[in-house]
Amino acid sequence: KIYFSCVFFQNSKSAQGLVGLKNLGNTCFMNSILQCLSNTQSLRDYCLHNSHRRDLNNNSRTNTALMEEFAKLIQIMWTSTSSEAVSPSEFKTQIQRYAPRFVGYNQQDAQEFLRFLLDGLHNEVNRVTVRPRGTMEDFDHLPDEEKGKKMWSKYLEREDSKIVDVFVGQLKSSLTCSHCVLTHTLWFLSLFVCFKGYGEVSLMDCMRLFTKEDVLDGDEKPTCYRCKARRRCTKKFTIQKFPKILVLHLKRFSEARRTSKLSTFVNFPMKDLDLREFASENSTNAVYNLYAVSNHSGTTMGGHYTAYCRNPSSGEWYTFNDSRVTPMSSSQVRSSDAYVLFYELATSSRM
């Protein structure tokens, strides 16, 4: 304890943001994610500079309290001169209002929480206040690259916020019908790449598994939109647009009732995660560095979440265990308990 307060004292000027969050009763899943987001520099600065105020949707139909409480919390975490842990209870009230599943004090899934939180924040600071009427434009005649750009700008006509700027990328899913020999290209956006590994695997293996060409046959045969018949198809994912922040969810819990946890050691790099081989087109800008991890230890029912984050100011790594914040060595970051990984595109990196 004395050691920790010493560290705080010495670093209070050079490295802020080292403020713990009180556990309100099984809220470590929330605290872990909040610390990862607090160390996401562009999102932190958006809150610290009050830029979110400009974007708040003031029409009476939209509640803006979630973004406001989130920003308030980040501001306290980065301006507090005391090492006293902060209570996120006002924030919790707002996330409960937005997503009633977080009412109460049950252990929750950190990755689901992150998804709901980003979605909620996005809705309150969406720069689009009146969404255009959905028209189905046909981009099929366009070359793939152009089609991708068109789909992206269509998306921005409806969903355009700081959250999108930072976290959203574009995946390309190509479906090739065996009959038409046409590539039916679907475009969609995803915050998460989810996968399941067996034994010890590398993150690159997981990515290769996720993006490998799949044959859809038998019961899985999709209906080709061209020939209107169910056909054997091949499906393949590539990344069309790389997000600034790439959040990777290492899928450790089985879909069915989440009773079993896979403790596969996923070997992931701290630096230079090079995803260029997954790009739809030659891309030079697809190298990522790790800056935060949500760690889940224990079993599904009785687990505990912590976060390891690299402080954007000092570059040092810290463990955030609810109200406790302690320095850690970067060599401890990689473990079989890593659950959600936060990577930052190297060119937008601060270091």
Ligand X SMILES: *[C@@H]1O[C@H](CO)[C@@H](O)[C@H](O)[C@H]1NC(C)=O
Catalytic residues: 28, 304
Verify binding: residue 264, ligand X, rule CB under 6 A.
no
Tally of CB atoms within 10 A around 24: 16
Verify binding: residue 69, ligand X, rule CB under 6 A.
no
Member of 295, 312, 339, 340 binding ligand X (CB under 6 A): 295
- Nearer Cβ to ligand X, position 123 or 216? 123
Q: What is the DSSP string of 13-69?
A: TT------B---SS-HHHHHHHHHHHT-HHHHHHHHTTHHHHH---STTS--HHHHH
* Residues in 48-67 at the binding interface with ligand X, rule: CB under 6 A: 53-54, 56, 58
Verify binding: residue 68, ligand X, rule CB under 6 A.
no
Verify binding: residue 35, ligand X, rule CB under 6 A.
no
Whole-number minimum distance, CB 58 to ligand X, in Å? Answer: 4
Tokens of 63: 């509640």
* Secondary structure element (H or E) that encloses residue 51, with its range: helix 51-55
Verify binding: residue 337, ligand X, rule CB under 6 A.
yes
Verify binding: residue 107, ligand X, rule CB under 6 A.
no
Tally of CB atoms within 10 A around 235: 17
* Terminal C-alpha separation, the chain: 31
Contact 27, 108 (CB under 8 A): no
* Residues in 314-333 at the binding interface with ligand X, rule: CB under 6 A: 319, 321, 324, 328, 332
Verify binding: residue 276, ligand X, rule CB under 6 A.
no
Cα R_g (the chain), whole angstroms: 21
Whole-number minimum distance, CB 136 to ligand X, in Å? Answer: 29
Q: Point out which residues bind ligand X (CB under 6 A).
A: 53-54, 56, 58, 281-282, 295, 297, 306, 308, 319, 321, 324, 328, 332, 335, 337
